[in-house]
Structure 1
């Protein structure tokens, strides 16, 4: 039995109503560690563009922090950071113009390894040696604004900011207890996730 016999819909387009993914082969989010490596974004562009050229329908990036409190590693908060991420998106779209690119926004909250970590309360996670600072109302609003800024920079351009990455979608990672999981789940679903798929 061939793969197309066993899985007849694998290479069929997936019509979501508002967009179509060319097939159901989706590259799940992976943290490659290339972002922090020397020439990391160039290497990441080559890595993801090979998957696009190979025929995948959608690529989901590794977690991208919306701000410095979101954790060590790659971020998307500034125009300079957008320039780096755009290199990857352009390489993917050049290798496969019909491949969708989805940026995963991840704020590690109490699990972040950063100079400043924040969470809904100052309770140390069993998975981290650090105690986060508790967010007050202004801190929560800042985190929401940073998520919105990250999603806007990921997708754009807008009338306010033409310096964007140009991904096809942005989504929020909500597993393992990052910032938005339990206390802000409803807000995260309604305000933090953005998609143009």
Structure 2
């Protein structure tokens, strides 16, 4: 594949999670920085979001946060980033994250992470982009969701070619291997439709 200059990471903002997820976020942020890959993320300083950003920064990496003003007003934005963009809506945030990223990694998270993940997956299915998407199934966190997707396919509600749409990695080393092995995009993003 062509070399990655930036990876968008979707993940949770809760700090009340198992250490295995915190460790994975730290390893991902550090690993991106060590490879010279810019982190694009939601701009928060709490939970896995804060951990992945802090780890990338501590390892000398560039970190770009994109946060809606209504979330920034709750004082949860990370103030030590390379760049912090405050935007007018969640829609603008998600569009900018997709436009600035060469690939996506989905760490464990909650409803917000699901929203971002399904949007980027749907956009890829609709051929609005063709960037690699890696589901980081740390400690089996996403196993129920992956089972649901298989159920939707079996019931005829989705035609998902998992190998074309996304890859699953059960540890962070495997995330980087999947990113390295992903094919280069076969068509340009149609960002005017995002």
TM-score bracket for the superposition, by shorter chain length:
0.3 to 0.5
Q: Which has the larger radius of gyration?
A: 1
Structure number with higher relative contact order (C-alpha < 8 Å, ≥ 6 residues apart): 2
Question: Normalising by structure 1, what TM-score?
Answer: 0.32
Higher helix share: 2
Question: Normalising by structure 2, what TM-score?
Answer: 0.33
